[in-house]
Amino acid sequence: MTRKSTTLSADYFEEKYKADIDPWRFRSSDYEHVKYQATLESLTKGRYVSALEVGCSIGVFTKLLGPRCDHLLALDASATAIAVAKASNDSNVEFRIAALPAEFPEGRFDLIVLSEVLYYFAAPDLDRVARLCLGSLSPGGEIILCHWLGETDYPLSGIEASERFARQVKEALPVRSILQDAVYRLERYSAG
């Protein structure tokens, strides 16, 4: 399988959602539901003041994460996905169309979730996203990553994306916990 060499564009995701509003079966997949539960269990705090979810898609995980946050900013590159996500989520969730790294939001977050998104970036863009995450993480905050470990044609594999992100944040966030490493890798980063 030949990998794409550049970061996947917003158009790539918009076309996916226009063809099928749930292209990765977030609503119905047992894999997704188990992963969502494991991700929620990986959080170290009962509540977060301000959280960021990158790649919220149609908002299935957002609906589960929202009750744990005073404010949750959920991003996706697809306007179609955001419209669906808005319709089924609570008022403490703010949705925004954004293609990273160029449109990374301003603000400070005590939780940043990047679930199954980093392998869509070419290496230089992933490095920039990692640095932007560090710059917006509140003291004592944590970053949660998750990546599917199967073969894709994305610019990076799940392992490559995970390890590259780890190298970018290791000095500022030296505590890295790999919580699941079978079909997907779930990990948490924090300062201490």
pLDDT tens digit sequence for 28-81: 888 989 999 999 999 999 999 999 999 999 999 999 999 999 999 999 999 999
Residue 154 scores a pLDDT above 90: yes
pLDDT at position 26 is 84
pLDDT at position 23 is 79
Inter-helix orientation angle 123-136/158-169, to 10°: 50
pTM of the complete model beyond 0.85: yes
Residue 103 scores a pLDDT above 80: yes
Residue 2 within any structural domain of the chain: no
Beta bridge partners of 142: 111, 190
Residue 27 scores a pLDDT above 90: no
Residue 76 within any structural domain of the chain: yes
Beta bridge partners of 178: 187
The DSSP symbol for 121 reads: S
Residue 73 within any structural domain of the chain: yes
Residue 1 scores a pLDDT above 80: no
Q: Read off the pLDDT band of 82 (50, 70, 90).
A: very high
Residue 125 scores a pLDDT above 90: yes
**Token digits of residue 182:** 């079978």
Q: Return the CATH number at 173.
A: 3.40.50.150
Residue 97 scores a pLDDT above 90: yes
Q: Please, is 161 exposed, middle or buried when counting C-beta atoms within 10 Å of its C-beta (0-12, 13-18, 19+)?
A: buried
pLDDT at position 117 is 96
3-class secondary structure, 171: coil
Contact at 8 Å (CB) between 114 and 166? no
CA distances from 71 to 50, 112, 138, 172 (A): 5, 12, 14, 24
Structural domain count of the chain? 1
Residue 114 within any structural domain of the chain: yes
The DSSP symbol for 160 reads: H
Domain that holds residue 74: 10-190
Q: Read off the pLDDT band of 106 (50, 70, 90).
A: very high
Angle at 123 between CA 185 and CA 40, to 5 degrees: 30
Q: Read off the pLDDT band of 88 (50, 70, 90).
A: confident
Residue 47 within any structural domain of the chain: yes
Residue 1 within any structural domain of the chain: no
**Token digits of residue 88:** 């089924």
pLDDT at position 34 is 92
Q: Read off the pLDDT band of 192 (50, 70, 90).
A: confident
3-class secondary structure, 156: coil
Residue 91 within any structural domain of the chain: yes
Residues 152, 118: Cα–Cα separation, whole Å: 13
Q: State whether the Cα torsion 64-69-70-75 is positive or negative.
A: negative
Residues 28, 26: Cα–Cα separation, whole Å: 6
Q: Across residues 148-169, what is the average pLDDT?
A: 96
Residue 3 within any structural domain of the chain: no
